[in-house]
Amino acid sequence: MNLEKLTREFWENGFIVLEEFLDKQLMDRLNNLIIQHYGYTPEFLHNDEFLGKAKTEVIPWFPQNEGVKEFDAVDENVSLQALTKSILGDNWQRQYCMVMFSRQGTQGQAWHQDCPPEDAGKFNMNRLVYTMDITPEIGGQTVVVPGTHKKGILPAGDPQADFENQLVLTPKKGTVILLHGHTWHRVLPVKGAYRVSTNYRSAPQGTPEDITDVCVYRNMRYRFSTSELIEER
Ligand SMILES: O=C(O)CCC(=O)C(=O)O
Ligand SMILES: [Fe+2]
């Protein structure tokens, strides 16, 4: 693994894709635990206002908060630790591990930035782990607009409309995507039985713990802790 090259690429594009990065058997074990937890048809957690306006249909789960130890193996992966340190610097912080489940026939996630981009130095980094293959048939591909972590706020507009220079990523079981929280990104609608990703969120030293409490969409800003639409756009 060429840490320097990958780090440069991350800061140039606002994301990197690491294929065949994690052990497939570990991925199978985690995916089984995920399905055991949710079943295939879990109920939504967010309220109707959010679901209707955000065009985002994911159900979060924080397995480590419930003592499910198997998820620690990804945190402990030394290559992932080394790369995270190379990108975020010494004393980077791990935030939490969040599984995101989307049911068949749901919309995925609309364009967003995980946290407000006004202060370029305050951001989270997603470390997205895929425990199943994403395919065009299943849907749920992750879409990014390269370089937009340096472009400020996601323009107001249609929450799901394509950007000309967007890039569709189709991660496979064991792929890790590192994604700057200010990079404009979304998840396509889910056509297969379900779609799941697991995000080991991290941030540079000194980043407020609640950095991702306010998410920026093309039609609003939303505060998760209070389930509140804080700005119409
Ligand atoms: O599941 C994905 O591929 C992207 C999820 C996402 O937008 C996030 O965790 O911030
Ligand atoms: Fe996101």
Query: For ligand 1, atom 1, which residue shows the shortest CA distance?
Result: 197
pLDDT at 50: 73
Measured from the CA of 114, which atom of ligand 1 is nearest?
Answer: 10
Full domain range(s) for residue 133? 3-232
Ligand 1 centre to CA of 63 (Å) is 17
Q: What predicted TM-score, i.e. pTM, was given to this entire model?
A: 0.96
Cα–Cα distances in angstroms (integers) from residue 152 to residues 45, 96, 116, in the given order: 30, 25, 9
Which atom of ligand 1 lies closest to the CA of 186?
7
25 CA → ligand 2 middle, Å? 26
22-51 mean pLDDT = 87
The number of distinct structural domains making up the chain is: 1
Mean pLDDT score, 201-220: 96
pLDDT(41) > 80 = no
Closest atom of ligand 1 relative to the 169 alpha carbon = 3
Alpha carbon 143 to chain centroid, angstroms = 11
The bound ligand whose nearest atom lies closest to the alpha carbon of 178 is 1
Ligand 1 near 109 CB (within 6 A): yes
Cβ of 187 closer than 6 Å to ligand 1, yes or no, is yes
Q: What is the CATH number of the domain that holds 132?
A: 2.60.120.620
Q: CA-CA distance, 225 to 173, in Å (whole number)?
A: 31
Q: For position 186, what pLDDT does the model report?
A: 98
Query: Buried b vs exposed e over 71-100: b needs ≥16 C-beta within 10 Å?
Result: beebeebeebeebbebbbeeebbebebbbb
pLDDT digits (tens, 9 = 90+) for 64-86: 999 999 999 999 999 999 999 99
Q: Please give the distance, rounded to the nearest whole angstrom, from the Cα atom of residue 114 to the centre of ligand 2.
A: 5
128 CB under 6 A from ligand 1?
yes
Q: Which of 179, 182, 194 to mutate to test the pocket of ligand 1 (most atoms within 8 A of CB)?
A: 179
